[in-house]
Chains A and B, each alone.
Chain A
């Protein structure tokens, strides 16, 4: 069983917490310590952003994080070495790389899949790769033991859900709103309703992302039965304040701890 499948099996109905951080931000030296700090604070899975020069689906917060990382020369192969370093001490927490296709194409998707699997990467969310365009990439990734994780949106029709069912693995990332990372969602009940339908149709856990900024929202979604919640921009915003590795580690821990606590509260079982 893959690390992602194992992790979801272990959740036993609890909602998995997936923090997102951009690799190399606020500094290259901080990334591995931040990953460990997030696990210590209660992360069940980690999404690690691979910096790209043109992050067209990201809001200002993550754009700036990408720019900061790129200005320090961060690149995909380096991100893989950080995952490998993280794995020296942690063999259980799944790591999902999130980014854009071009850096992977530049490396060559075959080489990427092999090296990422060797480093201990469990899944990829390639934001600009739809199932239609991504058949070859998905096959290569799966053959290497990496789960291709696709996005679905409120506007995705049944045909697109079927395509994701065919090619996707690990979990599905449900973009809770029409917009970019960092935007504001208002109607979480509607989101939860849609997520329940998707889980049924896909037979995969569905993580909710975009627009979750705090413990209160995470708790609301957990009570509503979400498989997983992704919390990104709000954390990245906090980390941007760090001037050294120790502060970054403290900020990451301090930010995630109350969110994890909110998810750990016993949930009232609703009908």
Chain B
């Protein structure tokens, strides 16, 4: 796709994306869109963002050659884009910093966010503190139970964590609640969405803030290997770490782009979070995209071992990239992800997030069928410290 340029001015990626919200939110989105466009043109804003990414987040992070695993797999060379080394331990902070700077520029003094695994909530709480803003994070009541250490981290950082006990009490319901809060307090509140979902301009804006991942990885890969990777692989929940990586390679047709969804207990079981693999187009959270829904258009509960992938929708740009054939979307099951989690920990000394482990699992599957002079870039979207309780519990260990 030479000269790929999405979305159009109304936020449409072909039939996907757009702005499906109650009228009360439209002016807030218009204001945001105008402010974002102006900030993008402003050299001062760009310089400040660049400086924050260096000084506070710790960019650029390495593109690490996982030589031991590559050797063992006997095929393509595995390269890991180390987003886990960012401050707060995941890619989420790239976007949180970008949106917080934009919020400050717009004169908002309060940030709100939704969170599933808690990583985006922690990132938002962190930047709110850094810029002297108030912060409220909405989190499904069930996720609060599952991710108690991140809840405590957010509170340590001074954020208020609000338990959402409507619907399925998970990420999608937290997003609904954050939208409701935003519409009620739009004057002083900026809603920091944590993935490439939501109404326009969120999917494009969040992608742009994460594009630094792909830009760095592409330059690093060229420098370290002398050529582009044969494939880029990332896990897909809402799709922010994946689109951040893919964005820099979309115009390179020789690079395969592979998104890995949460296969849960297997697609046939229905207990998964893989809308691109088994869903169909519909409208949720302000955009049109692939969704997991029943025959009556009700959104289905999802399942994944990783709370960060446990979402029934996916960013609209991924829906477009799927239909156009530019990117491929596959699944890794809970079991496969868990095995990859252990493999990376034991072979490379890197404990990945369970979300990330889905991308690793698929990479480990295809690498042996590829040539040794080819490389695969995997977005190592986060570190696994937050998941050790989950993994230990599966092994019958109480920490």
Contacts and interface: CB of A to CB of B under 8 A. Distances in A.
Interface of A: 52-60, 63-64, 67, 70, 75-77, 100-107, 127-130, 132-133, 150-153, 155-157, 160, 175, 178-180, 183
Interface of B: 10, 18-24, 26-28, 166-167, 172-173, 176, 179-180, 183-184, 186, 281-286, 291, 293, 295-299
Contacts of B297: 52, 76, 102-107
Given A127-B22, A128-B21, A179-B184, A56 B283 contact: no
A103 B284 CA distance: 11
Nearest to B23: A151
Contacts of A130: 19-21, 23, 26
A63 B166 contact: yes
A262 B286 CA distance: 39
B251 to A, nearest CB: 29
B186 A56 contact: no
A178 B23 contact: no
A160 B26 CA distance: 10
A129 B26 CA distance: 11
Contacts of A52: 297-298
Nearest to B177: A56
A133 B19 contact: yes
Which of A57, A150, A156 is packed against the most chain B CB atoms within 10 Å?
Answer: A57
Given A57-B24, A100-B283, A102-B284, 20 more contacts: A52-B297, A54-B167, A56-B21, A56-B180, A57-B183, A64-B166, A102-B282, A102-B283, A102-B299, A103-B296, A106-B282, A106-B295, A107-B297, A128-B286, A130-B23, A132-B10, A153-B24, A153-B26, A156-B26, A178-B184
Nearest to B31: A155
A70 B298 CA distance: 9
B282 A67 contact: no
A105 B290 CA distance: 12
A132 B23 contact: no
A53 B24 contact: no
B176 A128 contact: no
14 contacts: A52-B298, A56-B22, A56-B176, A102-B293, A103-B298, A106-B282, A127-B22, A128-B20, A152-B23, A153-B26, A155-B26, A160-B26, A175-B24, A178-B183
A131 to B, nearest CB: 9
Contact of B282 (A55, A56, A105, A132): A105
B92 to A, nearest CB: 22
Contact of A54 (B19, B23, B28, B284): B284
Contacts of B285: 54, 56
A75 B293 CA distance: 13
Contacts of A152: 23
Given A56-B176, A102-B283, A180-B180, A157 B298 contact: no
A43 B275 CA distance: 42
A133 B20 contact: yes
Contacts of A150: 23
Given A103-B296, A106-B297, A151 B176 contact: no
Given A103-B296, A106-B296, A128-B20, A156 B27 contact: yes
Contact of A151 (B22, B28, B184): B22
Nearest to A73: B296
Which of B10, B21, B283, B285 is packed against the most chain A CB atoms within 10 Å?
Answer: B283
A58 B24 CA distance: 12
Contacts of B21: 56, 128, 130
A103 B295 CA distance: 9
A183 B186 CA distance: 15
Which of A58, A105, A183 is packed against the most chain B CB atoms within 10 Å?
Answer: A105
Nearest to B281: A105
Nearest to B166: A63
Nearest to B168: A53
Contacts of A105: 281-283, 297
A156 B20 contact: no
A175 B183 CA distance: 12
A54 B176 contact: yes
B179 A156 contact: no
Nearest to A51: B298
A179 B172 CA distance: 19
Which of A55, A56, A75 is packed against the most chain B CB atoms within 10 Å?
Answer: A56
B296 A156 contact: no
B296 A75 contact: yes
B348 to A, nearest CB: 40
B167 A67 contact: yes
Nearest to B282: A102
Nearest to A210: B24
Nearest to A100: B283
B19 A160 contact: no
B281 to A, nearest CB: 8
Given A53-B299, A54-B167, A101-B283, A106 B22 contact: no
Contacts of B180: 56-59, 179-180
A130 to B, nearest CB: 6
Contacts of B18: 133
Nearest to B176: A56
A127 B173 CA distance: 17
Contacts of B26: 130, 153, 155-156, 160
A103 B172 CA distance: 17
Given A128-B283, A133-B19, A75 B27 contact: no
Contacts of B24: 57, 151, 153, 155, 175, 178-179
A127 B180 CA distance: 13
Which of B20, B179, B284 is packed against the most chain A CB atoms within 10 Å?
Answer: B20
Nearest to B26: A130
Which of A100, A128, A156 is packed against the most chain B CB atoms within 10 Å?
Answer: A128
B183 A180 contact: yes
B297 to A, nearest CB: 3
Which of B26, B184, B299 is packed against the most chain A CB atoms within 10 Å?
Answer: B26
A238 to B, nearest CB: 20
Contacts of B291: 102
Nearest to A131: B23
